[in-house]
Structure 1
Amino acid sequence: MTKKSVLFVASEGLPFIKTGGLADVIGSLPKELVHQGLDVRVVLPLYKKIAINNHADFDYVSSFDVRAGDIQSMANVYSQVVDGVTFYFIEHRDFFERDELYGYDDDAMRFGFFQHATCRLLEALHFFPDVIHSHDWHAAAIPFLCRTFYSYREEFRRIKHVFTIHNLAFQGIFHKQALWSALGMNYSYYLDGIARFHDDCISFMKLGILYADKVTTVSETYAREILTEEFGENMQHVLELRRHDLVGIVNGIDYDSWDSQTDKLLVANYGLANLSDKKKNKLALQAQFGLPQDENVILVGIVSRLTWQKGFYLLTEVLGHLLQAQVQFVILGNGETDIENAFHHFKHAYPEKFAFYRGYNEPLAHQIYAASDLFLMPSMFEPCGISQLISMHYGTLPLVRETGGLVDTVTPYHIETKEGTGFSFGGKNAYDMKQVYDFALETYYTRPADWETMVKEAMTRDFSWQASAQKYIWLYEEITA
C-alpha cells in the first residue's frame, strides 16, 4: 500500500521562519504525520532571513517560468529534509527577500506568485499529492487554482484539498484587479460573486473556503464561533455555506522543543518527580530582572504579542490595582505602542514587582514558562493558542478568557472538587478579569495543596500532536476515499 501524500503550503514555518502560531504548526504537525506513516512535504517562500541563515545548506531542485496575469517571472526552488519532512523553498528575491514577511502593497502579487509557483513545482517534480493542505490566506487560492487555472491536467483535478484557518481576522482582501494581475483569472469570478468580497474587492481566503473539500480551524470552539457575527469577521455567511465541511481540530505542541524535563534553555529541569526544582527557575528569573528573590511570591508570566486581540487593554486598565497584591510580573513581547508605553510606565513605577522585556527572545520565553506560577492570557479571541498549552505542560497555570481554543484546552479550577488546570473568566471587561485574578492569588496563597494538585493535573494532560495528527489523517482518508 502506497503512503498517502500530503503537501503543506504555508507562508511561514519552523525551524526556518516564524511570526506567529502558524509557524509552530508547520514545524510540528508534518513531523508527527510522517511519524504516523504519511509522505509529507512543505512549501514555503524563501525569505531574506531564511536566505541568510539557511541557504548554504539547501539542495537545488528546479527552476521554471511562472506566468499568470501580470506575473511573468522565474522561480528557483531549493529543498532540505528536516525530521523526515521535505521542505521546498520558492525563491524570488524581489518578492521575498525583504525585511518583513507581510504588510506590503504588492502582497497580492507576492503570494499570487507563491501559489502559482507551488503548482508549477508539482509539474516540475511530477509529484501530485493526494491532498494539498493550505494554510491561511497566503495559500488559500490553491484549491481554486487547481480546479480552474490548472484544470487542463487531470492530475490537478484529482488532488483533494484541506484549507486551515489559523486566524480569520486576516483574509487576503485586495482590489478586484488582483483577480487577474495576481491570480491570472478573468473577472467572471468577480461578477458571479465567487471571488467578490466587499465593494470592488476579492478575498483569497474566501476562495479557499469555497473550493477546499474540507475547511478546518485550530480548535472546536473557534469553528463554532466564526459562524457568528461577533467572531465571523464578515466571513460568517460564506462559512455558513460550508458548515457541514467545517471541522475544528485543536493544535498541539512539539514535545521535542517544549519539555520541562529536557529543555536545555532552563536553569533547572524538572518534572512531576522533582517539581520543587521548578522554583530554581523562578529565583533565576527574578535575579535576571532585578526583582526580589522570593520563591514564595506568586510570579505572573506573559509571552505574547501585545495587541488588542490578546486582551492587553484589559490588563492596562487594572494593572495598578493588580500590583497592590503580593505579586511579581514578568512580560515578554511587543506590539501596539499604547500597551508598550503602559508597561514601560509600570516597569518604572513598580521596579520590584514588574519587569518588561520589549521584543522577542526565545530562551527567555522558555524561562518565563518554567519560572512563572500563573500565565496570563486574556485574549478577546483566540483561534487555538499555544502558550496556554506550553504553560500547562511546564506546570504553570494559565488564567484565560473563555474564548476559542482557550475554552477547549483549559479546565477552570473548581473550589469544591479541587479539579482544574487553570482559571478562566467569561466577560469582556477588566473587572471580570480582576475578579478571577484575585481568586487565583487567593488560591495560591491560602490553598497551596489545591494549587499543587492543579499543577500536577496540568502537567499530565497530553498536549502532544499525536491525537490531533490522527484527526487530520482521518480527514485526509475521508476526502480521498
Structure 2
Amino acid sequence: MRILQVSAELFPLLKTGGLADVAGALPAALAAAGQDVRVLLPGFPALLNGLGVTDEVAVFHAPWGERAVLRRGAVGTGAAAVPAYVIEAPALYDRPGNPYENAHRQPYDDNHRRFALLGWAGALLARGLDPAWRPEVVHAHDWHAALAPAYMAFAPADGRPRARSVYTVHNLAYQGLFAPWHFVGLGLPGEAFQMNGLEYYGQVSFMKAGLYFADRLTTVSPTYAQEIQTPAQGCGLDGLLRGRSNVLTGILNGVDAAVWDPAHDALLPQTFDTDRMAGKARCKAALQQALGLAVAPEAPLFVLVSRLTEQKGLHRVLEGLDALLAQGGQLALLGSGDGWLEDAFRQRAAAAPEAVSATIGYDEGLAHRLFGGGDVTLVPSMYEPCGLTQMYGLRYGAPPLVHRVGGLADTVVDSTLEDMAAGRATGFVFEPFAQDAFERALSRAFALYRRPADWQRVRATGMLRPSDWQVAAQQYLQVYQNAVA
C-alpha cells in the first residue's frame, strides 16, 4: 500500500516532543512490513539539512499565492532509508530555534499559513503532485497537518480513485486555534467554516478539520480514545468524537528499538540487559557523579524527563519532594517549559544539590543516561494521551510511577500483591489525581526498593514487556485498509 505520512517533526532531525518519535519510527516500521511509505515535512532548516534534499519534484503555490518547491530526500541511509518530501518555502520555514515559537516563546503570527501549507502539499500529493508516486492513504499527524483531510475532502473529482485520509490525535489539548479572519486565504470553501467543519467557538480549529473530515481517526492509546469522548477530557470536542466513534481507534505507541535499547545504547556509559544488570548500577553511579548528586547506591534515584507544564503533574512532584527526600531518595530532572516550574525546580536543586538536580532544556544523550541510571521514572501526568517516557523507563529498568490515565493506564501495572504474585507488576500507579495518592505511591516505591528480590522481579518484568513498533504498524495498516475499503 502507498502511504504518505505528514508531520511537522521527525526524530532524530527535529524533536520538541513525542510526536517526533512517532513520526520517525512508524514509517520505518511500515516499510519493514513491506509497505510503500513516504513522509512529508515542512522545510525547517534542521529537516532540510538532515534529509540530504536534492531533487526538485514540483513547484506549486499556496492557496494565498505563495510559491513553494517540493523536494525529495530520505530519512536514514541504505536499504532502510524512507523516501521523504520536504516543502521548501524559506519565508515561512527558514527561522532559527523552535519551529513553532519566536525568541520570546510566542507562537509565530503566521503559523496558520505555515501549517496550512503542510496540509495543502499533502492534499496535492494525494492528487498527483509527484507524477511518479501517488498515495492511496494520507496519514496526517497532530494539528499541524490536520488541514490535509479537509483539503482532500473538498478537492474536485479527477476521474481517478480518491486517496483516503487518516488523522491521528497526539494531544487533544493542542488544537491549532486561530482567529476567524485567518480562514480567508486558506483555500477552503465558506461551507467549511461552520460547526460541522473548522469552526470552534468562533475560531478556526485545525484539529477539528482533521477530526471532522478524515475518513478514519486514531489516537495514541486505547484508554485515551475513550477518555476524549467524555466532557472531562474532550476539550469541547467530545460530542464530535462520540459521533465519529465508529471510525476512531486507539493504537498504543511503540518504542523504537533502534534508538531505545539498553543492551546496545551507545549513549550509556555501560550497556545492560536483564541478564547483565551490573551495567545499570554503573550507569547510576556515573549519572550521580555527573550531576553532582551524592554517589549513593542505596538511595533510590527518581528521574523525570518531561515538558515542564502543569498537565504533566509536576506540581505533585514539587509538593511531594520533601517526602521523597525525607525517605532517602534523589531526584534528577530534565526538561523545559513554564517559567514558574523551571524556577521552582532550579531553587530546589540549589537548596539540596547532593539530592536534587535540575537540567533545564533538552539533551537527548542525558535523557538516555537518566533512564539508564534511574531507579524510578516519574510520570504523574494529570492526563496523558500515550506517554513515551514511561515506556523508556520500563525498557531501561526504571519502573514508572504514574497516574492511572490514558496511555499510562495501558502500559504500567501497579505493584499490588496479586499482580506481583502473577508476574504482571511493572511499576507504581496512583489514583485519583491527588497529592496524598501520589505520595502513597512514592512510599510504595521506597518499600519495594528495600526488598531487592521483589524489586528485581518487577524491574525485569517491565524490561521484558513487548513494546516494539511492529504491533502498532500492523494495527495502523488495518486502519488504512479499512479507510480504502
**TM-score where L is the length of structure 1:** 0.94
Instruction: Sort the Cα spacing of 1:320 and 1:81 in 2 relative to 1 into closer, same or farther, 3 A.
Output: closer
CA distance in 1, matches of 2:113, 2:445: 49
Residue 58 of structure 1 pairs with residue 53 of structure 2: yes
- The one-letter code matched in structure 2 to 1:340 is E
Query: 2:130 maps to what in 1?
Result: 125
Q: CA deviation at 1:334?
A: 1.2
CA distance in 2, matches of 1:67, 1:434: 53
Residue 187 of structure 1 pairs with residue 190 of structure 2: yes
* Corresponding residue to 1:476 among 461, 480, 483: 480
Name the SS for the 2:200 alignment partner: coil
Given that residues 70 and 85 in structure 2 are in contact (C-alpha distance below 8 angstroms), is that contact kept between their aligned partners in structure 1? no
**350-359 or 25-34: which moved more?**
350-359
CA distance in 1, matches of 2:441, 2:315: 16
Q: CA deviation at 1:186?
A: 2.9
Name the SS for the 2:26 alignment partner: helix
Query: 1:139 maps to what in 2?
Result: 145
CA distance in 2, matches of 1:117, 1:386: 29
Q: CA deviation at 1:318?
A: 2.4
Name the SS for the 1:259 alignment partner: coil
* Corresponding residue to 2:66 among 56, 72, 75: 72
CA distance in 1, matches of 2:56, 2:225: 38
Q: CA deviation at 1:13?
A: 0.9
Query: 2:37 maps to what in 1?
Result: 40
Query: 2:371 maps to what in 1?
Result: 369
Q: CA deviation at 1:361?
A: 0.9
Q: CA deviation at 1:121?
A: 4.3
Query: 1:405 maps to what in 2?
Result: 407
- Cα deviation, 1:200-229, whole Å, max 9, x if unaligned, reads x22111121111111000000000000111
Name the SS for the 1:124 alignment partner: coil
CA distance in 2, matches of 1:459, 1:27: 22
CA distance in 2, matches of 1:219, 1:18: 21
Given that residues 58 and 130 in structure 2 are in contact (C-alpha distance below 8 angstroms), is that contact kept between their aligned partners in structure 1? no
Query: 1:249 maps to what in 2?
Result: 251
Instruction: Sort the Cα spacing of 1:417 and 1:232 in 2 relative to 1 into closer, same or farther, 3 A.
Output: closer
Query: 1:233 maps to what in 2?
Result: 235
Q: How does 1:314-393 map to 2 (within 5 A)?
A: 314-393=316-395
CA distance in 2, matches of 1:195, 1:331: 39
Structure 2: tracts of 5 or more residues without a match: 101-106
CA distance in 2, matches of 1:363, 1:323: 26
Q: CA deviation at 1:50?
A: 2.9
**121-130 or 99-108: which moved more?**
121-130
Query: 1:424 maps to what in 2?
Result: 429
Query: 1:49 maps to what in 2?
Result: 46
- The one-letter code matched in structure 2 to 1:133 is H
Instruction: Sort the Cα spacing of 1:71 and 1:20 in 2 relative to 1 into closer, same or farther, 3 A.
Output: farther
CA distance in 1, matches of 2:465, 2:194: 50
Q: CA deviation at 1:385?
A: 0.5
Query: 1:95 maps to what in 2?
Result: 92
Residue 433 of structure 1 pairs with residue 431 of structure 2: no
Q: How does 1:301-312 map to 2 (within 5 A)?
A: 301-312=303-314
Q: CA deviation at 1:456?
A: 0.9
- Cα deviation, 1:384-435, whole Å, max 9, x if unaligned, reads 0011111101111000011100000001111245240000101222221111
CA distance in 2, matches of 1:342, 1:67: 44
- The one-letter code matched in structure 1 to 2:462 is A
Query: 1:467 maps to what in 2?
Result: 471
Q: CA deviation at 1:110?
A: 1.1
Name the SS for the 1:75 alignment partner: strand
CA distance in 2, matches of 1:158, 1:189: 19
- The one-letter code matched in structure 2 to 1:32 is A
Instruction: Sort the Cα spacing of 1:355 and 1:173 in 2 relative to 1 into closer, same or farther, 3 A.
Output: same
Identity among equivalent positions (%) equals: 36
Given that residues 60 and 70 in structure 2 are in contact (C-alpha distance below 8 angstroms), is that contact kept between their aligned partners in structure 1? no
**TM-score where L is the length of structure 2:** 0.94
Q: CA deviation at 1:333?
A: 1.0
* Corresponding residue to 1:28 among 2, 5, 25: 25
CA distance in 1, matches of 2:312, 2:374: 19
Query: 2:103 maps to what in 1?
Result: none
Instruction: Sort the Cα spacing of 1:65 and 1:277 in 2 relative to 1 into closer, same or farther, 3 A.
Output: closer
Residue 196 of structure 1 pairs with residue 199 of structure 2: yes
CA distance in 2, matches of 1:469, 1:193: 31
Query: 2:448 maps to what in 1?
Result: 443
**186-195 or 341-350: which moved more?**
186-195
Given that residues 180 and 186 in structure 1 are in contact (C-alpha distance below 8 angstroms), is that contact kept between their aligned partners in structure 2? no
* Corresponding residue to 1:396 among 382, 395, 398: 398
- Cα deviation, 1:338-380, whole Å, max 9, x if unaligned, reads 1111111111211211111111111111000010111111001
